[in-house]
Chains A and B, each alone.
Chain A
Amino acid sequence: MSDEHTPPASEVPSHVADGEFHSLDPRYIHHARLVGGITVIVIASGLVTAMVVVVLAIDELPRFLRALIPFAVFAIVVGMGILAWRWPIIEHRFTSYRLDDDGIEIRKGVYWRNVINVPRSRIQHTDVSQGPLERNFELATLHVFTAGTEHSEVTLAGLEHARALRIRDHLLTGDEHDAV
């Protein structure tokens, strides 16, 4: 599963079922960084609060620990910050999808890599959802529901909203192509 560089979604003509692998919308990186940043800020404020409480509450804390804790917290927060900044790029590189007349194929995962193929005739229904932050970036998440167990819901986040809608329409208007 090589990390191929496919053109970003926005350059592709309106017909989505071209049988080529596409990357997610580049704006997904900004969106994911924003989400990651918020998460880091929340966790960091929690950590700092916990640190202050610990340092104030425990009197007999050894001196070296008292000095070490702020550094540890700082290191953790910086580490998470770097991860929140870097990870979306990596994730974006390792996520792609392909649509053709037969169905949709989604590859995801950086360490545990999976390619999931959902034939169009097996799609029960689809959702396009948009969180508040996604709306800000004109992004959307495509949910493909099958009758399966493990993959009863296959999601693909980070699509341009209009494109997600086109994909959904393509996936929905499938029945007349079914082989019997």
Chain B
Amino acid sequence: MNMTPSSQRLHPLSIIFLVIGSLKGFLLPAVFVFATARNATWEVWALWLSVPMAGYAVFRYFTTRYAFADDELVIHTGLIFRNVRHIRYSRIQNIETVQNPLHRALRVTEVRVETGGGNEQEARLQVLSLEAVDEMRRRVFEGKRRAASAGVVDEAADAPATPELAPGDVDHVPDVAKSEAPRVLVRLGLRDLAIFGLVQNRGGLVVAAVLGVLWEADILDWKIADSANMRQLIRYAADSGWFANWDVAVIVTLLGIFLAFLIVVRILSIGWAIVRLYDFTLTRTGDELRTSCGLFTKVRAVIPLRRIQLVSMQQAPLQRAFDRVEVRAQTAGGDKGASPSREWLAPMIRREAVDSLLAEVVPGPGFDALEWRRVDPRAGWRELRAGLRVIAVLVLAAVWFAPVMTLIAAALLAVLTFFAARGRARRFGFALAGDRVACRSGWLWRSASIARYAKVQAIRIGESPFDRRWKMASVAADTAGGGSHRVVIPYLPVAEARAVFDDLGARVNETAFRW
């Protein structure tokens, strides 16, 4: 390691900020605790935990150093557990500074070195003086330029644009993009939004939020919903003379209340969808996608096409009834922690329109054009066995309490498991084509994803003990886009899994990853 000896410490004020940082997690709850003070004893005791944390902050200051080597930033941390982090200048996307008012008053800043990947910033230096940051910026970007001029393939050319990709920051658009007229790819009408609300069923969220606020504010008096009103309602129902006897009246009333609740929740959900996603529009301008939506708060997001890591399509049963799917694009980099609405290419789109949308986003064969390969035919049998095993355990646990009910429920579950296993096994599929790998899964809730080789970060082949018994393995391709659906191909015969793993590895290696 050819490290220059100019190893540097953080700014001495770091101690203050580190202490504040470590206390902050306690202070807010503490204030809250004292303010509400229901029964606060253990929380008060927990406050003492903050003392060692503050000590740790001081320790961190004295053990953190950074240095500028020829082509990388080197950060040392720890004394007992020593850690040395090397970040190549060419990989650094952005040196972000975060200043709260206290930082500004003391002329220091928190520094986040972003390389765009992973789940955390690559380095968070808390805090540096403004001069130190300037020097860091100068040396890092000098280093990037050196690397770029040395003919190295990297993202140096793209990097200056990166800080401008913050969501909602529409004014900072590279000139290239401005030269092309925006084209609308997706626009949702009210009907689509209503379907979306129905499908998503976020009404529960609204109800939960309202209940939560009421509970915290101590307004909620459970007696409101208590027996008196209920009994009155049931008596009213019974008195109407529609029901044979009291019991039936009780059951029907309760069912009615439950149904009414479900309907209200769905209606709330539709309302939620309209507020959140009103006039959802996806447009393409040059190499950028932009989404905008929202009734009250207008949310705008910019997704550079090259930032898209993974495109997935999801379909719930209700969506299938309306022949709609949901399409998301997983991005990576500076937009960690961005709102999920940023992921949506289309919250709701006709199934047959998906591939033409994909043609804009990731040109190449879409979901329907791919040649899907199936997994091992024994997959269904394995799924069924696994399901039956779980049912058997449940039966063993419950059969002592209610034998008849348990057996009936188990039989029904077993039938369901059979269909689920068969459906899932038929649905599993994958495709390796041109520049992309794709996979699909799910029976009632279906998903499919596409990732380009250039966006694949690591490839894994795995064998569980169960896999080994059946001589199968799974292959997964990891991308920077962490959504709920990822490229995982289960239930492959071992030889085929090995071949797919090697094939994927070779194809990924042929491409260079660019942000």
Q: Which residues of A contact B (CB under 8 A)?
A: 1, 102-103, 109, 111-119, 121-122, 124-132, 145-154, 165, 168-169, 172, 175-176, 178-180
Contacts and interface: CB of A to CB of B under 8 A. Distances in A.
Nearest to A113: B463
Contacts of B80: 131-132
16 contacts: A111-B465, A116-B459, A118-B458, A119-B458, A121-B509, A122-B457, A122-B508, A122-B513, A124-B117, A124-B118, A148-B458, A149-B119, A150-B460, A150-B478, A175-B152, A179-B510
Nearest to B474: A114
Interface string B158-176: 0000000000000000000
Contacts of B513: 121-122, 147
Give the secondary structure class of A's interface: mixed
A159 B476 CA distance: 26
A117 B486 contact: no
A145 to B, nearest CB: 6
A122 to B, nearest CB: 5
B482 interface: yes
Interface stretch (B82-90, B245-253, B295-303): B82-90
A165 B468 CA distance: 35
A1 B473 CA distance: 10
Nearest to B117: A147
Given A111-B465, A116-B460, A152-B119, A147 B153 contact: no
Contacts of B153: 175, 178, 180
Give the secondary structure class of B's interface: mixed
B365 to A, nearest CB: 22
Nearest to A126: B86
Nearest to B332: A147
A172 B513 CA distance: 15
A79 to B, nearest CB: 20
B447 to A, nearest CB: 16
Contact of A119 (B1, B460, B468, B509): B509
A176 B148 CA distance: 11
A116 B482 CA distance: 18
B505 interface: yes
B478 A149 contact: yes
Contact of A148 (B83, B90, B457): B457
B86 A125 contact: yes
A169 B84 CA distance: 13
A175 B154 contact: yes
A131 B79 CA distance: 10
B480 interface: yes
Contacts of B87: 124-125
B84 A129 contact: yes
A150 B481 CA distance: 10
A129 B82 contact: yes
B423 interface: no
A53 B91 CA distance: 57
Contacts of A115: 460-462, 501
B85 A127 contact: yes
Given A117-B501, A125-B86, A125-B87, A152 B118 contact: yes
Contacts of B116: 147
A179 B512 contact: yes
Nearest to A175: B152
A148 B501 CA distance: 17
Nearest to A1: B463
B334 to A, nearest CB: 12
Ranked 5 nearest A-B pairs via Cβ: A147-B117, A149-B482, A148-B457, A148-B478, A152-B118
A152 B120 CA distance: 9
A151 B88 CA distance: 19
A127 B381 CA distance: 44
A127 B463 contact: no
B426 to A, nearest CB: 26
A19 B514 CA distance: 26
A129 B83 contact: yes
A98 to B, nearest CB: 11
B81 interface: yes
B511 interface: yes
B122 A125 contact: yes
Contacts of B118: 124, 145-148, 152-153
A138 to B, nearest CB: 14
A124 B509 contact: no
A151 B83 CA distance: 19
Nearest to A151: B458
Given A114-B461, A131-B80, A178-B512, 10 more contacts: A117-B501, A121-B512, A125-B85, A145-B117, A147-B513, A149-B479, A150-B458, A150-B478, A150-B482, A178-B153
Contacts of A102: 505, 509
Given A119-B508, A119-B509, A179-B512, A127 B460 contact: no
Given A103-B509, A150-B476, A180-B153, A116 B465 contact: no
Nearest to B494: A1
Interface in B329-373: 332
B213 to A, nearest CB: 34
A116 B458 contact: yes
B511 A179 contact: yes
A179 B482 CA distance: 26
Contacts of B449: none
Contacts of A129: 81-84
Contact of A169 (B1, B478, B479): B1
Interface in B65-102: 72, 80-88, 90-91
A145 B121 CA distance: 12
Nearest to A145: B118
B479 to A, nearest CB: 6
Contacts of A1: 463
